[in-house]
Amino acid sequence: MDYTLNANGCSYKGSEKDGILEFLGIRYAKPVGFWEEPEIMDMSGAGQVHAQEYAGVCLQPFEKSEPSSLDKKRQSNDCLTLNIWTKKNDKTKKPVMVYIHGGSFVNGSNNDLTTGGEQFLRNIPEEEDAVMININYRLGIFGCLDLSVLEGYDDQYRRSSVLWILDQLTALQWVHDNVEAFGGDPDNVTIFGQSAGSISVAFLMVCEQAKGLFRRGIMESGIPFFGTSTKEEKRRFSAELLTELGITSVEELTAKDDAFWREKCDWIFENYMDRVSQRAADGEYIPENFYGRICSGETKDIDLMVGATTGEMDGCTVWYKDLFRNNPKQATAEILSIPFQPAGFATDTISFLGEEQKLAEYINGKTDKLKATTDVMNYFMNQLGSRLYAKAQSKWNAHTWLYFWNWMPDPSIFMKDDTEAVFSLWNRAPHCAELPVVFGSGEWAYSSFNRWWLEPYEEHLASKPSR
């Protein structure tokens, strides 16, 4: 049923669904060109805002587990929108929840029904309410490419490597300026995210420009102690990619359209995702000593919940099952080759770089070597980092909580076409396991996400696209 909300000098045309108000596809920033900085949308002159359909999503590679990657036609650089849900009542000063989606900073969107606001609100007690918001932001090279390596580079593009966090900051500023119209309290905002969204929360906590835009943060299975690089590495990786694409100038790069990048996204993902898409501290929005700021109490005013699942990477190692059977040494080496050197942090307290021999001895001493190797990866990927963040923040703020998630539903719900979707070889909760419970999206969500875990390792390697 149509529902119109008049506020801020404009009219939001949304929908009512059995007591839940829904406003979809609202622009928080003006339409933006490739690698341009976002500019907040002034709603006072927006007129009628049609908010009954999900908007487009950022350009991204194909990924079985990401619904947003399936429909290429909906992918565009013009993607800076948010969705809003709240219960239909006259309450004001409602707490505001802003969700930042995951997807390794290269996939995902706010259109995923697994993490939508309608079921989130139906999943909380009837007498309680909130304003639930989820946002899009630019992904992959569109949010973090260093354009300084190109001819014609000027000051207009000096923040091209941190556009992803500029988008998130712009969305949070829009929420701060406009959420009262939807019954929300701009002084009671919680930001929460999973995986890449969790890492985003970590960086927003130490971002000077984010001060005053939120009070609380929830970090689910994502710690920025890996997937980071230096400014120098970012510049070098960007240069390598652009050289491979045959692009030499900013003018040539920004003239490419959505159709061009839709064709290139899969190749870029397979060949450059682990390098170009890494977060790099720029010193302006992301400090090099980001974890040091947590430890020194600079984020003491932010309440924090942080945690991980007990089988974070169990699903990934389904790929390695046959490889372990045939060549356990190679499989162990591949897993232990994952870089964990964090920016601005003492590597010897979290990184196992240089400790491969000790870890190999540990793994070789276990009967189930696949499980032992997976346990090592689970520990370093998110579990240890969650503990460290909770320990550091709790020294300054007693409102700090650490959790570990180990619940999964009956495996029978994963049966499809006589094939069981194996999420963990040891019946533990893998990455993303908590999301359908957090959002109340039910059993169908479990059966829909992360189907790539079923893909055999050899098929995965063989399916890499060529340029």
Which residue did the predictor score with more confidence, 410 or 11? 11
In angstroms, the CA 367 to CA 283 distance is 46
Q: What is the mean pLDDT of residues 431-444?
A: 84
Report the 10 Å Cβ neighbour count for 456: 13
Residue 418: both structure tokens together: 């006589």
| CA 48 remoteness from chain centre | 31
What does the domain layout of the chain look like in residue ranges?
Answer: 2-462
Question: Does the 2-462 domain belong in CATH 3.40.50.1820?
Answer: yes
Mean of the per-residue pLDDT values for the chain? 85
pTM, rounded to two decimals: 0.91
**Closest by CA position to 214, among listed 203, 225, 227:** 203
Residue 68: both structure tokens together: 């947003």
Backbone angles phi, psi at 396, to 5 degrees: -115, -20
Q: Kindly give, in sequence order, each residue whose CB lies less than 8 Å from that of residue 145, ignoring residues fewer than 6 positions away.
A: 35, 160, 161, 238, 241, 276
Residue 343: both structure tokens together: 């920016």
pLDDT tens column, 209-267: 999 999 999 999 999 877 777 888 889 999 999 999 999 999 999 999 999 999 999 99
**3-state secondary structure (DSSP) of residue 18:** coil
Res 335: pLDDT: 64
Res 181: pLDDT: 95
Q: What is the mean pLDDT of residues 160-187?
A: 97
Which range, 251-255, 343-347, 419-423, is most confident? 251-255
Report the 10 Å Cβ neighbour count for 91: 14
DSSP summary character for residue 2:
E
Res 368: pLDDT: 85
